[in-house]
C-alpha cells in the first residue's frame, strides 16, 4: 500500500532528465509534476543534458500546480579553451541551477555559449567562462561523470580536493558535493570519499537520483529509447544500458539508499536538509512571470513618434490604393489605427512595413498576404498585403482582437530563392544577437513509435508495418494507441490475443508523444528588444542556423515578436514567368492590375487542367472537385481552397457547396438577415469570419466578442460555449427573433465551426491561385518554362511537368549549343521549351557562360570544329564536350553524334594546337580577322559514320540529363496496351492498400538484398513517363523472372500496391513480362456472323469461352469485326488468356469462320493460328 503524502519525508529532486534530453530521458514534465505532488516534493528541478528546452514548460506547469520550479542544466565542462576543436579534451558534467533572474540569464548565456561556440560532440564551456557568469547560480558536482567524483574514482583524492576548492571559491555556499546510488560499485567507492571531502572543505552533501524516467516500471521503455538512440536491439549484449533505478524517487526511497554508506548526520544532510535548503534559495523567476510584449525599437525619422510616422505612411498608402476615399474607407482606417495605437503596436507595424518594403524595393517577390493579416486595411495601405479587405468583406478583429490583447501574427510569403536576403536584412537592422529562427520538436506519434519499438525488439519490419497500417490518420494525425485499444475492433482483438502485438504496443504506448528529435520551424523567426540569450537560450541547427531552445508557443508567452518568413516556390516561379514574358513578348505584366474575370482562367480550372496552379495541383481528388465545382469567381477559388481539407471533405460540406453552387440544391437561409453574410458561399458557412458576422449582426456581439466565440466553438471549449450560447440567445431576442431559431442557428454554427477556415487567408491564397492560373491560361509556354525552371532540384516534378507539356502540345527540345541558355528556354514561335545547358551532367555554369559568350561574340556555331576553335577549352574540357554531344546539344549542326564522338579527340587536339600557335605568334594575326579562319575542317572526306540507335541515344540522354528528352522508351506503347493498364506510376499512391495493378515501366535501378532468412530479394526502382515507384521482387519471382530484371529494360508488371504507414508506397511484384515481347490475341468476327447475330450476343459468347481459359495478364485480348465498320472491342483483363487448342476448338463451335491472330505490336508480326494449328501440336 502506497504511503500517504504527509507520511513521506519532503525531498526535492535536483538532478532530473526529461524527454528534452532527446532519446535519453523519457519523463514528460506534466507526469513529473503529478508525481511530485503525490510524493511530498515541494519543488522540482530539471537538468537536461546541455540544453534548457523544457525550462519554460516546467515553469508554467509547476507554478499552476503549486510546485516550485527550479530551472537547471547538466552542463559539460572542459579544462582549457572550450573554443578549441582541434583536440577532444575530457568532458566533465556539472549541474547548474538558477537561483533567481540573474541566475536564469547567466544559465541561458552559458547554455547558449556552449551550443553556439563550444559545441564539439557535446555543448561545452570552460571554467573561465563559467566564472564570468557564475552569479545567481548553484552548482552541484553531478554524477560519476563530474570532475570531482571522476577524479576520486581515478584514486587522486588530492586533485579532487583542488578541483572542489576551485568550485568552492567560485560559488561559495552555493556549491554542493553531489552523491548518488544506483547500485553501481563505483558509486559505493566514491560516496564515502565525497562525505570526507565535504568535511575537509566544510562543504555540504546533497543526494540526487540521476532520474531519466518517472516511475520504476518505465525502465524498460527508457531502455528501449536508449536502444533507439544507439541503434541496438533490446536483447543485444553487451551494450549501453541503465540500472533500472534512474526513476523519480521520493524522500523515503532516497533516505533508504545511503544507509550503509554514510553516517547518520551525513545521510540526513544529503537527503533531508540540503535539497530543501537549495529549493529555499531559489526565488521566483520574475523574468518568466512578469512578461510583456518585447518589440525592438524601430528607428524613426527625426521629429516623429511611432504613431505619427505610422499614421503618415498609412494615409499616404490609402490615397494610392483607393481612387476615391469613401466614408467606409476612412472610418475603417481610423478605427484600425486607433486600436493599433491603444494596444501599443505601432512599432510592430513599422517593423513589418520596413522589411516588406526592403523586399519589394529589391525585387524580391512577396505574396499578396497570408493568414488573418489580409483582413487589415492598415496592412493593405502599407503594402504589407495586396488584398482589399473592404472588397472581400474581411474582418479586422479576426486579425487583431482588442479583447484578446495578444500580439497578432503577420506572416509573409517570400520568393524561396531570396527569402534569406530578407532574413539577413532583419538581422543586420536589429543586430544578429536579437534575431533567431525557431526550434520545433518532433514527437513519436503512434505509427512511428510502433515501428521504432518493433525494430529495437527485433521484430520483422513487416510485422510493425501491419500494426502501423491499422492506425487511421485523421486530419493529418494518426490516432493515439489508447484510442485504438478502445475503439478499433481489429486492433483491440489483436492486442488481446497476440502476445507479440501486445508487447510492441505496450512498449510503444509508454513512449508515444515523447520528443525524438528537434528541427527548425519552416518559417518562424523571432526578434527581440535585447540580446536573445538574456531571455531564451539558443542553439544551432545541423546546418549552423541559430535557433531558439523554446518553441513557438513559449516564445509567444514570453512576449517575443515571432513571425513567419515562408519561402514560397510559386512566387519565385511567378517572377520568373513575368521576366520570360517580358523577354519573349515585350509585355510587362503587373499582377495587381490583371482582369479578375478572365473566362479562360475559370474554363481551364473547371476542366481540371491544374498542373502548376498554386494550391490546386495537389491530387486527383482536387482535379475532380474543381471539375465538379466549376469555379467562376475568385470567391469560388477561395472557397475551394478553404473546403478542400480533411474536415469538410469527410463531412460532405464540399458536396453540399458544389450542389448549391450548380443549382442542384436550393439555397435557403434560416433568416433573411443571413443572405448578405452567406451569399458568396451559396448559403453555406465556410469561413470563421461568417460565424463572427452572424454573431455580430443577429445577436449584438462586438466583433471582438464574436472572435472569442469563434475560438471557443472551433476549439470546443464547453464552459465558454455555454456562456456565449446564453449571450447569443439573449441577443437574438433583443433583435426580435424567435429563441428556437437562435438555438438552431447556434447549433449550426457549432457544427461548422470546427471545419471553418480563415477567410482572410483563403482570399489571399485565392488571389495567388488566380494569378498563377491567369499566367498559365494566357502565356502557357512562358509559364511552363518558369515552372520547369523552378523545380530544377526535383526530378519527379520535372518529369511530371514535362509530361503535362506534351499533353498540352508543347514540344520539349533537347539542349542546343546555339539556342539554349543556362536553364529552360521558352520558344513561343515553335511552341516549344528547350532544356538548358546547365541540365547536362559535367557541364558546369562556367562552361555554359563561356559557350554563351562565344556565341554572342561570333554568332551561332556551324560545326563542332568551329565550336572548339572559338571557346576556351579550359572552361569546357573534353569531358564537357562529350556530355554536350551525347545529350544532343550539337544535333542542330546536322552531324551525327557518333561521328562527332569519333572525331572529337582529333578536333580538340587541332584546336588546342592552333591556339598555342596563335599565342606563340606563329599565326598571322591579320590572317585571323575572319571569324571562320579558326575553323578546323574534316580532312578525310569519308562517308558519315552511322548514328547511334534510338535506344543508345535515349540512354545517353538519361545518363547525362536524368531524363529521356528526344524520345522515351514508353512513348510509342500501342494504345491497346496503355488502355488496359491500371494507371500511371504517379497515380499508384492514390490506390488503396493491397490493390492489384498492371503497369508499364522502365527499370531504372536494380539492387539485391539478403533477408534475415538468407533469401535474396530484388529492390527495383521503376519509372514511367511521369512517375516512379520502388518495387520488391521476392526470391521465388526473382528465380522465375531474374533474366528480365536489368536496368533500362521495359516491362509490363503485375503487382500489389503496398501503402506504407509513413505515407510512401511500394509495389510488390507478382509477375512481369518484357514489354517488347507482349503479344495481343485478336479474335476476328466475320461479317456473316454479325449479320445473323447481334454483335453483343457474339461478344458475350466469346467472353464466356475466354473466361474458362487459363488467365494470362500479359496477353491482351481484343475482338475485331470484319465488316464495313471494322470495330475493335478491348476486353477486360479477366478475359486475357494465352491461346491453345481448347480455345480454338471452343471458338470453332461458335462458328468455324472465326479466326484468331496473334499480333506482336512492337515487332509488327502476326500469325493466324486458326490456320496454323500445328503450332500447338
Q: What is the pLDDT of residue 944?
A: 61
Which of 912, 842, 905, 841 lies closest to 873, judged by CA?
912
CA 1134 from centre of chain: 41
Packed helices 703-714 and 688-699: angle between N→C axes, nearest 10 degrees: 130
Q: Give backbone dihedrals phi and psi of 2, rounded to 5 degrees, phi first.
A: -65, 135
Cα–Cα distance for residue pair 652/669, rounded to 1 Å: 19
pLDDT band at 4 (very low <50, low <70, confident <90, very high): low
Contacts of 60 (CB under 8 A, 6+ apart): 557
**In this structure, what DSSP letter does residue 942 have?**
P
522-546, pLDDT tens digit by residue? 888 999 999 999 999 999 998 899 9
Angle at alpha carbon of residue 141, lines to 551 and 17, rounded to 5°: 30
854-870, pLDDT tens digit by residue? 999 999 999 999 999 99
Packed helices 780-789 and 759-778: angle between N→C axes, nearest 10 degrees: 120
Contacts of 952 (CB under 8 A, 6+ apart): none
Weakest mean pLDDT among 34-38, 251-255, 764-768, 967-971? 967-971
863-909, pLDDT tens digit by residue? 999 999 999 988 888 999 999 999 999 999 988 999 999 999 999 99
Give me 192's grid cell: 564515502
Q: How many CB atoms lie within 10 A of CB 745?
A: 22
Q: How many Cα atoms within 13 Å fall on the side-chain side of residue 563?
A: 24
Q: How many Cα atoms within 13 Å fall on the side-chain side of residue 255?
A: 14
> Is the separation of the CB atoms in 202 and 273 below 8 Å?
no
Q: What is the mean pLDDT of residues 738-753?
A: 88
104-158, pLDDT tens digit by residue? 999 999 999 999 999 999 999 999 999 999 999 999 999 999 999 999 999 999 9
> Is the separation of the CB atoms in 68 and 44 below 8 Å?
yes
238 preceded by cis ω (within 30°)?
Answer: yes
Q: What is the pLDDT of residue 1125?
A: 81
Enumerate domains of the chain plus CATH numbers. 5-99+115-287 (3.20.20.140), 306-315+324-428 (no CATH), 646-756 (no CATH), 779-961 (no CATH), 975-1076 (2.40.50.140), 1080-1176 (no CATH)
What dihedral do alpha carbons 1098, 1099, 1100, 1102 form, nearest 10°?
Answer: 90
Q: What is the pLDDT of residue 1174?
A: 24
CA 948 from centre of chain: 43
Q: What is the pLDDT of residue 476?
A: 77
222 pLDDT higher than 90: yes
**In this structure, what DSSP letter does residue 272 have?**
I
Give me 834's grid cell: 528547350
32-63, pLDDT tens digit by residue? 999 999 999 999 999 999 999 999 999 999 99
Cα–Cα distance for residue pair 128/106, rounded to 1 Å: 14
924 pLDDT higher than 60: no
- Strand ranges (E), 168-324: 175-179, 204-207
Cα–Cα distance for residue pair 367/372, rounded to 1 Å: 14
Give me 692's grid cell: 463572427
Cα–Cα distance for residue pair 5/21, rounded to 1 Å: 29
What dihedral do alpha carbons 271, 273, 276, 277 form, nearest 10°?
Answer: -140
What dihedral do alpha carbons 517, 520, 526, 530 form, nearest 10°?
Answer: 60
Strand partners, 204: 176
> Is the separation of the CB atoms in 70 and 45 below 8 Å?
yes
Cα–Cα distance for residue pair 836/816, rounded to 1 Å: 8
437 pLDDT higher than 50: yes
Compute the mean pLDDT over every residue in the chain, rounded to the nearest whole number: 90
**In this structure, what DSSP letter does residue 120 have?**
B
- State the alpha helices, DSSP H only, in 791-896: 795-807, 845-858, 864-870, 878-886
Q: What is the mean pLDDT of residues 665-693?
A: 93
More confident residue, 87 or 937: 87
Name residue, grid cell 561574340: 857
Contacts of 740 (CB under 8 A, 6+ apart): none
The C-alpha R_g of the chain, in whole angstroms, comes to 37
Q: What is the pLDDT of residue 751?
A: 85
Cα–Cα distance for residue pair 823/785, rounded to 1 Å: 9
> Is the separation of the CB atoms in 901 and 884 below 8 Å?
no
Q: Give backbone dihedrals phi and psi of 66, rounded to 5 degrees, phi first.
A: 80, 15
Which of 588, 587, 584, 580 lies closest to 829, judged by CA?
584
3-state helix, strand, coil in the chain (%, to 5): 50, 15, 35
Give me 287's grid cell: 523574468
Cα–Cα distance for residue pair 831/820, rounded to 1 Å: 15
Q: What is the pLDDT of residue 1175?
A: 23
Q: What is the pLDDT of residue 1163?
A: 66
Cα–Cα distance for residue pair 575/365, rounded to 1 Å: 7
More confident residue, 282 or 1141: 282
Task: Report the run of H or E that residue 93 belongs to, with start and end.
Answer: strand 92-98
335 pLDDT higher than 50: yes
413 pLDDT higher than 80: yes
Angle at alpha carbon of residue 663, lines to 657 and 664, rounded to 5°: 80
245-298, pLDDT tens digit by residue? 999 999 999 999 988 778 889 999 999 999 999 999 999 999 999 888 888 999
Q: What is the pLDDT of residue 243?
A: 93
1076 pLDDT higher than 50: yes
Q: What is the pLDDT of residue 925?
A: 44
More confident residue, 753 or 588: 588
Q: What is the pLDDT of residue 933?
A: 41
Q: What is the mean pLDDT of residues 955-964?
A: 88
What dihedral do alpha carbons 478, 484, 486, 489 form, nearest 10°?
Answer: 130
Amino acid at each position: 500500500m502506497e504511503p500517504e503524502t504527509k507520511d513521506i519525508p519532503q525531498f526535492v529532486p535536483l538532478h532530473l532528465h526529461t524527454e528534452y534530453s532527446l532519446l535519453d530521458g523519457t519523463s514528460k514534465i506534466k507526469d513529473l509534476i503529478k508525481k511530485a505532488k503525490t510524493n511530498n516534493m515541494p519543488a522540482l528541478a530539471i537538468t537536461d543534458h546541455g540544453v534548457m528546452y523544457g525550462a519554460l514548460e516546467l515553469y508554467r506547469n509547476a507554478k499552476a500546480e503549486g510546485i516550485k520550479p527550479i530551472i537547471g542544466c547538466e552542463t559539460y565542462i572542459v579544462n582549457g579553451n572550450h573554443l578549441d576543436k582541434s583536440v577532444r579534451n575530457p568532458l566533465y558534467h556539472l549541474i547548474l541551477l538558477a537561483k533567481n533572474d540573474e541566475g536564469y540569464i547567466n544559465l541561458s548565456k552559458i547554455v547558449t555559449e556552449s551550443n553556439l561556440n563550444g559545441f564539439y560532440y557535446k555543448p561545452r564551456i570552460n571554467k573561465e567562462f563559467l566564472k564570468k557568469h557564475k552569479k545567481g547560480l548553484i552548482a552541484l558536482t553531478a554524477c560519476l561523470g563530474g570532475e570531482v567524483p571522476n577524479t576520486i574514482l581515478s584514486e587522486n583524492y588530492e586533485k579532487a580536493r583542488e578541483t572542489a576548492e576551485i568550485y568552492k571559491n567560485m560559488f561559495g555556499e552555493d556549491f554542493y558535493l553531489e552523491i548518488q546510488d544506483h547500485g553501481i560499485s563505483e558509486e559505493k567507492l566514491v560516496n564515502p570519499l565525497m562525505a570526507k571531502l565535504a568535511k575537509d572543505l566544510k562543504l555540504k552533501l546533497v543526494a540526487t537520483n540521476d532520474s531519466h524516467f518517472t516511475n520504476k516500471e518505465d525502465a524498460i521503455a527508457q531502455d528501449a529509447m536508449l536502444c533507439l538512440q544507439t541503434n541496438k536491439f533490446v536483447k543485444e549484449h553487451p551494450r549501453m544500458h541503465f540500472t533500472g533505478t534512474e526513476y523519480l524517487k521520493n524522500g523515503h526511497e532516497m533516505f533508504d539508499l545511503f544507509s550503509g554508506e554514510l553516517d547518520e548526520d551525513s545521510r540526513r544532510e544529503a537527503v533531508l536538509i540540503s535539497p530543501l535548503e537549495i529549493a529555499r534559495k531559489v526565488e521566483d523567476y520574475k523574468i518568466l512571470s512578469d512578461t510583456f510584449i518585447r518589440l525592438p525599437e524601430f528607428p524613426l525619422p527625426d521629429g516623429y513618434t511611432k504613431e505619427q510616422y505610422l499614421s503618415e505612411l498609412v494615409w499616404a498608402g490609402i490615397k494610392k490604393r483607393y481612387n476615391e476615399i469613401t466614408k467606409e474607407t476612412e472610418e475603417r482606417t481610423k478605427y484600425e489605427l486607433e486600436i493599433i495605437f491603444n494596444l501599443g503596436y505601432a512599432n510592430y507595424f513599422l517593423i513589418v512595413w520596413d522589411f516588406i518594403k526592403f523586399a519589394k524595393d529589391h525585387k524580391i517577390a512577396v505574396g499578396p498576404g497570408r493568414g488573418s493579416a489580409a483582413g487589415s486595411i492598415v496592412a493593405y495601405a502599407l503594402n504589407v498585403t495586396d488584398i482589399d479587405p473592404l472588397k472581400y468583406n474581411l474582418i479586422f478583429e479576426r486579425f487583431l482582437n482588442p479583447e484578446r490583447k495578444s500580439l497578432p501574427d503577420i506572416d509573409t510569403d517570400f520568393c524561396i530563392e531570396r527569402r534569406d536576403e530578407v532574413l539577413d536584412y532583419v538581422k543586420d537592422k536589429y543586430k544578429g544577437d536579437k534575431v533567431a529562427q525557431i526550434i520545433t520538436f518532433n514527437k513519436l506519434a503512434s505509427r512511428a513509435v510502433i515501428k521504432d519499438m518493433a525494430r529495437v525488439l527485433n521484430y520483422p519490419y513487416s510485422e510493425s508495418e501491419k500494426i502501423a497500417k491499422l492506425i487511421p490518420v485523421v486530419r493529418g494525425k494518426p490516432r493515439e494507441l489508447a484510442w485504438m485499444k478502445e475503439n478499433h475492433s481489429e486492433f483491440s482483438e489483436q492486442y488481446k490475443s497476440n502476445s507479440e502485438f501486445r508487447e510492441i504496443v505496450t512498449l510503444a504506448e509508454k513512449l508515444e508523444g515523447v520528443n525524438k528529435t528537434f528541427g527548425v520551424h519552416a518559417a518562424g523567426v523571432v526578434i527581440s528588444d535585447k540580446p536573445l540569450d538574456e531571455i531564451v537560450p539558443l542553439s544551432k541547427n545541423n546546418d549552423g542556423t541559430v535557433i531558439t531552445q523554446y518553441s513557438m508557443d513559449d516564445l509567444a508567452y514570453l512576449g517575443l515578436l515571432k513571425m513567419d518568413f515562408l519561402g514560397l516556390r510559386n512566387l519565385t516561379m511567378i517572377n520568373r514567368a513575368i521576366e520570360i514574358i517580358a523577354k519573349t513578348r515585350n509585355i510587362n505584366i503587373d499582377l495587381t492590375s490583371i482582369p479578375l474575370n478572365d473566362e479562360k482562367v475559370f474554363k481551364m480550372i473547371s476542366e481540371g487542367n491544374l498542373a502548376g496552379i498554386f494550391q490546386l495541383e495537389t491530387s486527383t481528388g482536387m482535379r475532380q472537385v474543381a471539375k465538379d465545382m466549376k469555379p467562376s469567381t475568385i470567391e469560388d477559388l477561395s472557397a475551394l481552397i478553404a473546403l478542400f481539407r480533411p474536415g469538410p471533405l469527410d463531412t460532405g460540406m464540399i458536396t453540399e457547396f458544389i450542389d448549391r453552387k450548380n443549382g442542384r440544391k436550393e439555397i435557403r437561409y434560416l433568416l433573411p438577415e443571413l443572405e448578405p453574410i452567406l451569399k458568396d458561399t451559396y448559403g453555406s458557412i465556410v469561413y470563421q469570419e461568417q460565424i463572427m458576422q452572424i454573431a455580430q449582426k443577429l445577436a449584438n456581439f462586438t466583433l471582438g466578442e464574436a472572435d472569442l466565440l469563434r475560438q471557443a466553438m472551433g476549439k470546443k471549449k464547453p464552459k465558454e460555449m455555454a456562456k456565449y450560447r446564453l449571450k447569443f440567445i439573449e441577443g437574438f431576442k433583443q433583435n426580435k427573433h424567435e429563441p428556437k431559431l437562435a438555438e438552431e442557428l447556434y447549433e449550426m454554427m457549432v457544427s461548422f465551426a470546427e471545419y471553418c477556415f480563415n477567410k482572410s487567408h483563403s482570399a489571399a491564397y485565392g488571389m495567388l491561385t488566380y494569378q498563377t492560373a491567369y499566367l498559365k491560361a494566357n502565356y502557357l509556354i512562358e509559364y511552363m518554362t518558369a515552372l520547369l525552371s523552378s523545380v530544377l532540384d526535383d526530378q519527379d516534378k520535372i518529369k511530371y511537368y514535362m509530361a503535362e507539356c506534351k499533353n498540352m502540345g508543347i514540344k520539349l527540345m533537347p539542349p542546343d549549343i546555339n539556342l539554349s541558355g543556362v536553364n529552360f528556354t521558352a520558344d513561343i514561335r515553335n511552341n516549344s521549351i528547350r532544356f538548358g545547358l546547365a541540365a547536362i551532367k559535367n557541364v558546369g555554369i562556367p562552361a555554359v557562360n563561356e559557350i554563351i559568350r562565344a556565341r554572342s561574340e561570333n554568332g551561332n556555331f556551324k560545326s563542332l570544329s568551329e565550336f572548339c576553335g572559338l571557346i576556351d577549352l579550359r572552361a569546357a574540357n573534353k569531358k564537357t564536350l562529350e556530355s554536350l554531344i551525347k545529350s544532343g546539344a550539337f544535333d542542330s549542326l546536322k552531324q551525327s553524334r557518333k561521328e562527332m564522338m569519333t572525331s572529337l579527340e582529333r578536333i580538340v587536339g587541332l584546336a588546342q594546337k592552333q591556339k598555342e600557335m596563335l599565342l606563340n605568334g606563329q599565326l598571322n594575326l591579320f590572317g585571323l580577322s575572319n571569324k571562320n579562319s579558326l575553323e578546323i575542317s574534316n580532312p578525310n572526306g569519308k562517308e558519315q559514320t552511322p548514328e547511334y540507335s534510338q535506344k543508345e541515344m535515349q540512354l545517353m540522354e538519361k545518363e547525362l540529363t536524368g531524363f529521356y528528352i528526344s524520345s522515351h522508351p514508353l512513348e510509342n506503347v500501342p494504345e491497346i496496351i496503355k488502355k488496359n493498364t491500371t494507371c500511371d506510376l504517379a497515380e499508384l499512391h492514390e490506390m488503396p492498400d493491397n490493390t492489384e495493378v498492371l503497369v508499364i515501366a522502365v527499370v531504372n535501378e536494380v539492387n539485391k538484398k539478403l533477408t534475415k532468412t538468407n533469401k535474396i530479394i530484388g529492390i527495383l526502382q521503376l519509372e514511367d513517363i511521369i512517375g516512379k515507384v520502388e518495387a520488391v521482387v521476392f526470391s521465388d519471382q526473382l528465380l522465375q523472372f531474374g533474366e528480365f530484371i536489368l536496368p533500362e529494360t521495359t516491362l509490363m508488371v503485375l503487382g500489389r500496391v503496398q501503402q506504407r504507414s509513413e505515407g510512401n508506397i511500394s509495389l510488390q511484384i507478382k509477375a512481369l513480362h518484357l514489354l517488347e515481347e507482349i503479344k495481343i490475341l485478336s479474335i476476328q468476327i466475320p461479317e456473316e456472323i454479325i449479320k445473323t447475330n447481334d454483335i453483343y450476343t457474339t461478344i458475350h459468347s466469346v467472353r464466356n469461352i475466354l473466361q474458362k481459359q487459363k488467365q494470362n495478364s500479359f496477353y491482351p485480348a481484343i475482338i475485331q469485326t470484319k465488316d464495313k465498320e471494322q470495330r475493335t472491342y478491348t476486353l477486360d483483363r479477366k478475359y486475357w488468356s494465352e491461346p491453345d487448342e481448347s480455345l480454338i476448338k471452343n471458338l470453332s463451335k461458335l462458328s468455324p469462320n472465326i479466326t484468331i491472330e496473334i499480333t506482336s505490336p512492337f515487332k509488327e508480326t502476326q500469325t493466324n493460328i486458326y490456320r496454323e494449328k500445328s503450332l500447338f501440336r
